[in-house]
Structure 1
Amino acid sequence: MLSIAVTTLAILLLGITILARLPFHWWWIRCCEFPRMQISMLALLTLLLASLSESPWRWLAVSSSLVTLVIQACYILPWTRLWPVQVQRAESGQDERCIRLLVANVLTPNRNAEGLIALVKQHEPDIVLTLESDDWWGQQLDAALCKQWPHVVRIPQDNLYGMHLYSRLPLVSPQVERLIQDDIPSISTGVTLRCGEDIQLFAVHPRPPAPNESKESLWRDAELLLIGKRIHDGSFPALVAGDLNDVAWSRTTRLFCRVSGMLDPRRGRGMFSTFHAHYPLLRWPLDHVFSSEHFTLRDMRRLPGFGSDHFPILTTLCYRPSRADEHETPEANGDEHREAHSTIREGKEREQED
């Protein structure tokens, strides 16, 4: 019985691994991309248990487990310290060129605003971006932050897609956009750094592929790729931040990076898994900060929880365009640009099925 159980689990893990590689938008396929670390740990367990199995089950379990581990490692390793960093480390000084950004999905029913406000006041970021923030959260944050973070964009919504942005730095022509779906907002704004230079910031929180949200990832993918295409076409210094409802190693996020040319400061440094805050064995990186080649990284850290199902993430980047050539900027080929264009067009044209 042990031999059959171990072999069955090994084959199941391999099947999930192969499903995640299929280029379809169905939620049950795209969700297979999320638990790559957990699948790897289970595959390692089946590999160890296979030594107790009997032939011919042993070799089937061993081979299935090994293939699973190799495939998963190819996706996971870039987000470990075993991989070269993608965003170069910032030199000391140049504080007037740095921007510190705190991103926090607050979880709308969570009412521990004081916990988040304490983290904001402890770390004093230049910009605070909250996601899932409704009217109640907006009132609490306004009362606590508006004096020191006077530049504000408010989008209170009670559908889990509200958004608030508080900034010490001046905002240039901030816009609230609904790029793909009318109930899913995003923010696009210029930010004037202390050195006087302007950069562009995109704050996003697309709808996830999940049974209670959307049967397909199409609309999430289309929103991310639309922003990526805008950055590519504009060739301006940019940051993209938010809860992407997608993992760093997913097919869509990697395509977004190639289409936009954006860099992931976590590569070569760690996963910084922000979800789920309450279940240590079920965590993956959902909250992101991406930068164009114009930035170097001073610091990135995951902050303590405050009652939400997400941990906040704090990132300090320095605007150093003179060091842009130190980065290996990802580039999309012609087929990938066509795929992105097709996904954006389909996402705009098709209505979501609940």
Structure 2
Amino acid sequence: MPTPDLVLLIYSISITFASFINLIRLDYWWIRIWDFPHLQLTILAAIGLASWFFVGHHMDGWLLIVPVGLFATLLYQAWLIYPFTPLHKQQVHALVQPGSDSAVKDNTIRLLTANVFMENTHMPEVKALAEKHTPDVILVLEANQTWQDALAGLEKSYPHRMLYPLENTYGMLFYSRFPMRVHELRFLIQDDIPSLYAQLELPSGQLIDFYGVHPMPPSPTEHYRSTERDAELILVGKEARAKPGPVIVAGDLNDVAWSHTTRLFQRISGLLDPRIGRGLYNTFHARYFFLRWPLDHIFVSCHFQLQSIKRLPNCGSDHFPMLVTLTYVGDQTHKDIETPQPEGDDLEEAKEKINEAKS
């Protein structure tokens, strides 16, 4: 076999294997990590297919793997990514003002989420970003005491707070202009990985259940498996499904929007993704444009319509901040929204993951 053909064959097998290995339902990090780079694998598959055409369209023997494998890869990647393009129906409707401007304003929440990277020293830029966009609620992740001290100036504008700095990159700072009827710091799965719950009261008097999450990712430097991450998301999803009113879940899920786990979370929770039908809004890695995927998420119940969703400029972190403006519109749009529902063995899988993570 000529050297170019051999190289192309090995390349094709590698790309095809990397694209489909995530279908194996094992939680080991070296499998789950392949949930992430599907955009990159799409580009590599397209390059391989173009190279196959360039070298001569060989269709004999093992070389048949090249076009078949790469074309199958492209189809699979397109299926995963298609929902996050403007070609797909939007899952969260754009706001159609249901009443007076004051009614809309009193039912609107402006949320800023930022994984700031604990060792980042660009604190003034993060503070300036919050002051520029004036969100109603700010969720800061990877915050330690140094970050809390640096952002203390925000406290005058945000009288309602939950501040839990940590030195393990899982600290959380939560600032709200809205009163919190209930607030709770929780450790759902791991004793050193917090999440938060708050019941926020909008100016209209409407209550919103808000969850802030940042589970540990599967990686060689963090955790050997994704079980704990998956279980935490499922627990939050089950609780969100049981809430009768509006719900928001936000944070760095350490998982991509198209993964099996995130789609399972949506089916368990019934929550909607405002990116579907609009774009990927890749937030990580901010420093390397060729290694980016959507890790920072905001999921909402069907009670909301979307005013805007933006990826904000980087402030020295490895994540881009996200800014989302949502308006509570009540029950009037429920009938024409297809909320995700459990299917197949979802509930059994969810129970198994929770039991395994807690065992």
Shorter-chain-normalised TM-score: which range?
over 0.9
Q: Report the Cα distance in structure 1 between the residues aligned to 2:241 and 2:282, rounded to whole angstroms.
A: 27
TM-score, normalized by length of structure 1? 0.96
Q: Report the Cα distance in structure 2 between the residues aligned to 1:195 and 1:6, rounded to whole angstroms.
A: 62
Residue 71 (structure 2) aligns with? 66
Deviating 4+ runs (over 2 angstroms): 52-60, 233-236
Q: Report the Cα distance in structure 2 between the residues aligned to 1:260 and 1:129, rounded to whole angstroms.
A: 21
Counterpart of 2:81, as a letter, is I
Choose the corresponding residue for 1:237, options 229, 238, 246: 246
Identify which range, 56-65 or 98-107, moves more after superposition.
56-65
Residue 134 (structure 2) aligns with? 124
Residue 341 (structure 2) aligns with? 331
State the Cα deviation string for residues 16-44 of structure 1 (Å, max 9, x = none).
Answer: 12211111111111110100000000000
Is residue 2:189 matched to residue 1:180? yes
State the Cα deviation string for residues 283-314 of structure 1 (Å, max 9, x = none).
Answer: 00000000011111110000000100000000
State the Cα deviation string for residues 261-301 of structure 1 (Å, max 9, x = none).
Answer: 00000001000000000000100000000001111111000
Choose the corresponding residue for 1:102, options 112, 134, 157: 112
Query: Aligned ranges for residues 190-269 of structure 1 at < 5 Å?
Result: 190-269=199-278
Whether contact under 8 Å (1:76, 1:249) holds in the other structure is yes
Compute the displacement of 1:8 (Å).
1.3
Whether contact under 8 Å (1:188, 1:203) holds in the other structure is yes
Compute the displacement of 1:52 (Å).
2.3
Cα gap change, 1:138/1:15 in structure 2, threshold over 3 Å: closer, same or farther? same
Compute the displacement of 1:233 (Å).
2.4
Residue 352 (structure 1) aligns with? none
Q: Report the Cα distance in structure 2 between the residues aligned to 1:98 and 1:251, rounded to whole angstroms.
A: 31
Cα gap change, 1:103/1:50 in structure 2, threshold over 3 Å: closer, same or farther? same
Q: Report the Cα distance in structure 1 between the residues aligned to 2:71 and 2:244, rounded to whole angstroms.
A: 42
Q: Report the Cα distance in structure 1 between the residues aligned to 2:73 and 2:144, rounded to whole angstroms.
A: 42
Whether contact under 8 Å (1:26, 1:215) holds in the other structure is yes
Q: Report the Cα distance in structure 2 between the residues aligned to 1:324 and 1:138, rounded to whole angstroms.
A: 40
Counterpart of 2:77, as a letter, is Q
Whether contact under 8 Å (1:204, 1:241) holds in the other structure is yes
Partner of 1:195: helix, strand, or coil?
A: coil
Query: Aligned ranges for residues 1-354 of structure 1 at < 5 Å?
Result: 1-54=3-56, 55=58, 56=60, 59-92=64-97, 93=101, 94-142=104-152, 144-321=153-330, 322-333=332-343, 335-349=345-359
Q: Report the Cα distance in structure 2 between the residues aligned to 1:326 and 1:99, rounded to whole angstroms.
A: 23
Compute the displacement of 1:59 (Å).
3.4
Compute the displacement of 1:334 (Å).
5.6
Counterpart of 2:265, as a letter, is F
Q: Report the Cα distance in structure 1 between the residues aligned to 2:92 and 2:273, rounded to whole angstroms.
A: 7
Whether contact under 8 Å (1:295, 1:324) holds in the other structure is no
TM-score, normalized by length of structure 2? 0.95
Query: Number of paired residues?
Result: 348
Identity over aligned pairs, percent: 42
Q: Report the Cα distance in structure 2 between the residues aligned to 1:186 and 1:237, rounded to whole angstroms.
A: 19
Q: Gaps (5+ residues) in structure 1?
A: 350-354
CA RMSD in angstroms, aligned pairs only: 1.1
State the Cα deviation string for residues 190-212 of structure 1 (Å, max 9, x = none).
Answer: 01011110010000000000001
Q: Report the Cα distance in structure 2 between the residues aligned to 1:26 and 1:238, rounded to whole angstroms.
A: 31
Q: Report the Cα distance in structure 1 between the residues aligned to 2:243 and 2:208, rounded to whole angstroms.
A: 12
